[in-house]
Amino acid sequence: MLDNGLPIGELARLTGISTHTLRVWEKRYGTPVPLRLPSGHRRYPKEEVPRLRAIARALKEGHRPGKLAKASLSEIESLLNISSLLPGSSVVHSKAKETQVESSRELIVEGWIEAVHKFSYQTLDDGFFAEWGRLGSVKFITECVIPFLNKIGTGWENGELSISQEHFASERLYDFLGSKWRQINERNDGPKVLMATLPEENHSLGLQMAATVGAIANYRIVYLGSNIPYEEIISAVLKTKSQLLCLSVSVYYDSQKAGRLIAKLRERLDKEITIIVGGQGLPNTIPEIIRIHDFEDFFQQLLDLQKEYT
């Protein structure tokens, strides 16, 4: 696969639209438009993937391909939103409503992916602000950010997104979340929680999301960030008089090493200091810590712990 496009088979796999259908649309509707390599082979723009995925969902709801083939992603989203309001629509049933909501979220995330393809920071920022305001912080993370990051990871693995696009997306999200929780943190008066990653752990986006949830729960965030030496974590907890230590362990980190370090931290710190650990690289067994499986769980744990400190 070349960086300047996708073979039709790969495009079909990523969008759920068969190669036969894609060829028919190209001939009948003039889309998707392939790129011609010097060898004569065709490659299709990676930027078409989000739009074609949206088309696939619209087809399942009964829309005709002739109306969809040349439509933009925003036009398809509008079409789906309008159809959900028509009399007799199946979305009047609770299960169908849930499906419609999920479809709408997918379209939002696909729009963000399209913005990543184009390196459009303004589109991403506007989208983040809109969904933050509509959903609130915790649902914004669980319903939009997590699916967005999953698609970014899958897109990078499949060659749909480049390394530069993956970094662009992560940095925009990191900056957005950082600005939000820091603004909230200035007014907080709850318990202190120190947030860090372990030594040689350079992935800190999960920690940034944890800081956002912590700030919403009225905790005072002491944010150290990534790759913090073991002794420095202990020193910072004591100097700041933090009542909680929150650690994020990414899937890229050695889980056995993480387990050893966290166990040592637990031994060195006073038992009254709660240690909370989350992330996909989380070790299986560490005594006397709180293990977090998702951000809704984290939010509830913080609320429950806060009752003990007041």
Task: Give me the tens of pLDDT residue by residue for the chain, a chain 310 residues long.
Answer: 445 688 888 888 888 888 878 888 888 888 888 888 887 788 888 888 888 888 888 887 767 777 788 888 877 877 766 554 444 444 444 444 455 555 577 788 888 998 999 999 999 999 999 999 888 888 899 999 999 999 898 888 888 889 999 999 999 999 999 999 999 999 999 999 999 999 999 999 999 999 999 999 999 999 999 999 999 999 999 999 999 999 999 988 998 899 999 999 999 999 999 999 998 887 777 788 999 888 988 999 999 898 777 6
Give Cβ neighbours of residue 260 (< 8 Å, ≥ 6 apart).
none
Spatial separation of the C-alpha atoms in residues 169 and 151, rounded to whole Å: 11
Judge contact between 282 and 262, C-beta under 8 A: no
Residue 269: inside a domain: yes
Alpha-carbon gap, residue 206 to 222, rounded angstroms: 15
Cα Rg, the chain, nearest whole Å: 23
Q: Within a domain: residue 100? A: yes
Same domain, 242 and 163: no
Q: What's the token pair of residue 40?
A: 């004569």
Nearest to 104 by CA among 136, 61, 160: 61
- CATH number for the domain harbouring residue 195: 3.40.50.280
Do residues 59 and 153 both lie within one domain?
yes
Tokens of 198: 């372990």
Whether 165 contacts 119, CB under 8 Å: yes
**Domain stop point among 114, 148, 179:** 179
* Domain around 107: 8-179
Assigned domain for 2 exists: no
Given 179, 202, 235, the domain boundary residue is 179
Prediction pTM value: 0.70
220 shares a domain with 166: no
Q: Please report, as a single letter, which amino acid is at residue 180.
A: K
CA gap 222, 237 in Å, rounded: 9
Residue in this structure with the two tokens 């939009």, named with its chain if needed: 144
